[in-house]
Amino acid sequence: MSSNKKYWKSVEELENSSIVEALRNNEFVEEIPTDEFLGNAEALSTSGTSRRDFLKYVGFSTAAVTLAACEGPVHKSIPYVLQPEQIIPGVADYYATTVFDGFDFANLLVKTREGRPIKIENNTIAGAKFSANARIHASILGLYDSARLKEPKVDGKDSSWSAVDLKIKSSLADAKAKGGQVVLLTNTLASPSTDKLIAEFIAKNPNAKHVVYDAVSSSEALDAFEAVYGQRALVDYDFSKASLIVSVGADFLGDWQGGGYDTGYAQGRIPQNGKMSRHFQFESNMTLSGAAADKRVPMTVAAQKQALVQIYNIIAGASVPVALEEKFKVEVVKAAQQLKAAGSKGVLVSGIEDKNAQLLVLAINQVLASEAFNTAGARQIRKGSNAIVAQLIKDMEAGSVHTLIMSGVNPVYTLANSASFVSGLKKVKTSVSFSLKEDETASIVSIAAPAPHYLESWGDLELTSGTYSLTQPTIRPIFNTKQFQDVLLSVNGTAGTFYDYLKANSGAYTAGASWNKVLHDGVAVLGSSALTGGAIDAATAASAVVKSKDAGDFELVLYTKTGLGDGQHANNPWLQEFPDPITRVSWDNYVTVSNADAKKLGLSNEIVANGGLNGSYATLTVDGVKLENVPVIVQPGQAVGTLGLALGYGRKAALKEEMQVGLNAYALYKGFNNVQSVSIAKAGGVHEFACVQGQKTLMGRGDIIKETTLEIFNTKDAEHWNEKPMVSLDHQEVEATTVDLWESFDRTTGHHFNLSIDLNACTGCGACVIACHAENNVPVVGKAEVRRSRDMHWLRIDRYYSSESTFEGDNERKEGIAGLSSSLSTFNEMEKAGDNPQVAFQPVMCQHCNHAPCETVCPVAATSHGREGQNHMAYNRCVGTRYCANNCPYKVRRFNWFLYNKNTEFDYHMNDDLGRMVLNPDVNVRSRGVMEKCSMCIQMTQATKLKAKNEGRPVRDGEFQTACSSACSSGAMIFGDVNDKESKVAKLAADERSYHLLEHVGTKPNVVYHVKVRNT
């Protein structure tokens, strides 16, 4: 039968807080400011108010909101004098390109309208294997960032590129004459043409060298791979080929090794022919990978190292002594035995930043002959070396570096020992920083050189061995910027631009494919053979790992959040307001602590009367470095004895004031080690979080998440694990869907759109949320408004926790309760499972109900149903009564409390002319007093139909898309026409795993969910 487990959204809900219970039934927790309309609020409170007066007040306030809603903006259009041939007004153009910023990478299609790039899409051509994550979808906003560096600066004053050229050439000549070092300090470039250009620069300047610096280091894994395979690269795992996955501290669904593994992973997680992959996760912080795992074991990194050696012992038949607690050893041995049995269908990955640990990973996968372990297309996206960067800082402090040219790095912000770097920088005669902004580093160098955005740049990339991608500009440079490569060409005395250089050299990398072909497709697949690995002294490595020192009382595990990553996008309001998939907190970083440790330390979280989440402050100390007033989140699933803290926050330079949030955790990133020995102490004060987890709940109804085990899924009929809700009709129990208050219409003619969401494939990555933001001009409201439950996201990803115990075990235990005292003690014990909960993600948007409760209560018919299944909103008809929101059981409607466009109170991208260039002209920008919500991207479905009509053909399956479905790289979201019975979405809607949210309410949604199956 299906699970009857208790689901809970937050720790506070688990503890049955009376405030949480009250908030469930009160969506709008803030008082409606009627005194602004009525004037004398005191007189109203002291006098009797008749029904007539009440209606008068309501009528007045409604009228005021109505007037506000009618304040539509006036747009003045200026026609082309001479219209460019390639631009057809109202028709989008798409450009294939590839992005790599040193941290994130993807193969893209960029949508442009009238010459403006406005949207990032995934390139789905064969060979384009890397999809955009949330940060890359949001990166288009960085193109229109008014805080960008607009002119070159020399010694802090505006200058010209000719002056920059002259100063660099003069400095290089002086360095050569004096024998001083010249250093090019860059992020990982992964560009064969740029590498060639740098080699030419070094040939002309023998005193020069190239240092690669990754802000978030993968140096230990690179060192291990290089020692075995002779190439400084990373393994590109193919999880679609694995039936058993064991991860020891690797968040491969997050940013581990650059991410991009969710597509292959999800392929094995959808049960097909009674089979699906199995996933063990051993980790400290609760991560996306841990949330998706079938079996998650929280443990310290010190214990993870012991676990890795234990796995090696079982796989390789070794006998290295291991010190592992019995409760962990049982789980580790079970995982190792299953991994050994899986053989080539098994794979082991690890995020432990230790060369010896990474050597063990390589050795284990070699013994398994793992098919998922792919050395043929090794990843070239990390090249940095901790030792070389450390040596550079020593050289700078010694005064031996004459000229330092930096590109794509911000070491003053990202280095833990940035003070040493700054003191060394003062001894460098000429320092240059190519940067999008006048950031922490660019603001203190001799020359601040404005770099173009990747959407304004030319380039080539080799993300994995055997592939070649091109980056092309989609718009002319907005500011007076210049690429690092163009300046190198000038310094080298090479004629022409980097575009000329790129095109001339491309033939060496495309293996016969033409320039135009690669430019059109964005990527060329050339193929590569598997690397032959050398011998691994695994026994020595295992002995070294076992002897690793414990971190002490607490381990601090530093990580990158799904929203901000390494911090490059800190000035991006879309990402700042994006709720973290695990904690559901936006606009902050914080230290995560287990419930057990929180109680010992006196740290807590609580939901207050207005629905906001408050938390304690703590002071963290690592090797004498203090980080004070760090907000605290009590995190279910955090390993006892460990703390988590996200990098990428705490920036100040070149950021709007609203974006200067959080604390800089890089200060604790000592020796590029993401695990530090830390002491923690409670600090005074209370922090106010912008957390959406307790907001817009589905009223506590129990059939929101449906799940079962693979065993039950395979052995029982669907009625046992996907129960249909029943109601009483004429004293007989019948399926709820057969009883209806409304007359149904024939919807078999024309198109009828459905969106299918598979809970097994959804990893909670959030790419869909940002894609929806970009496509539909969703406003950013800021931290204070999010805290008031006024975020405007049309699509949210609810995160649910549930007991880790087996379903039947839970049920039997509950059924065995006898009496009140037994009930209290039993449920109290069961709630302790919250220390290591199972997690489920559920994207929720407007369900586009065929029998929509919002439509029946709208007094002005602003919301109505379309023939194709979409629930429409006529914005200029809406008067803002919010009846529809009150009547919506899914809580998916958003109300514009303010005018977010051209309003200095909301100083985000909609407030300045440059930022508004990102707006999609096909979608209205809503005004104050208007209700809005997911439109199922009707502008996209209409454009698809018109395109097919113009081409004289029917719409092909898969051609209909929404912003969320096209952004979903895991395949969790499939959109299409259910009237096309051969379409994928029609088959998914008819699948035995399909169900609708709150099916018993009778709303008949057009969004279909699929029962989550766990391979426990």
Rounded to an integer, what distance in angstroms lies between the CA atom of residue 95 and that of residue 455?
10
Q: What is the DSSP string of 363-381?
A: HHHHHHT-TT---TT-B-S
Rounded to an integer, what distance in angstroms lies between the CA atom of residue 981 and that of residue 987?
7
Decide if 920 contacts 777 (C-beta within 8 A). yes
Q: Strand 401-407 to strand 181-186: parallel, antiparallel, or no bridges (unpaired)?
A: parallel
Decide if 479 contacts 148 (C-beta within 8 A). yes
CA nearest 379: which of 562, 280, 256, 524?
256
Rounded to an integer, what distance in angstroms lies between the CA atom of residue 989 and that of residue 720?
19
CA distances from 1008 to 772, 849, 942, 978, 994 (A): 19, 11, 22, 11, 6
Query: What single-letter amino acid sits at 499?
Result: Y
CA nearest 216: which of 673, 676, 675?
673
What three-state secondary structure class fits 25?
coil
Rounded to an integer, what distance in angstroms lies between the CA atom of residue 214 and that of residue 310?
31
Rounded to an integer, what distance in angstroms lies between the CA atom of residue 985 and that of residue 967?
16
Decide if 763 contacts 266 (C-beta within 8 A). yes
pLDDT at 675: 93
CA nearest 978: which of 815, 811, 751?
751
**Cα angle, residue 189 at apex, residues 183 and 193 outer, rounded to 5°:** 95
Decide if 288 contacts 253 (C-beta within 8 A). yes
pLDDT at 46: 47
Burial class (CB in 10 A: 0-12, 13-18, 19+), 981: exposed
pLDDT along the chain (1016 residues), means of 10: 59 59 55 49 48 47 46 58 75 92 94 92 91 94 93 93 94 91 95 95 94 94 94 93 95 93 93 92 95 94 94 91 90 94 94 94 94 91 94 94 95 94 94 94 94 94 92 94 94 92 90 88 86 86 87 89 93 94 92 92 86 89 92 92 94 90 94 93 92 68 81 89 85 84 81 94 94 94 90 91 55 61 56 72 94 92 91 92 91 92 88 91 92 93 93 92 94 93 93 91 92 90
Rounded to an integer, what distance in angstroms lies between the CA atom of residue 497 and that of residue 493?
11
pLDDT at 56: 47
What three-state secondary structure class fits 123?
coil
pLDDT at 397: 93
Decide if 574 contacts 615 (C-beta within 8 A). no
Decide if 208 contacts 428 (C-beta within 8 A). no
pTM given for the model:
0.90
> Which residue's entry shows tokens 């299944």?
869
Please report, for the chain, how many H helices and E strands are present, in that order. Answer: 35, 40
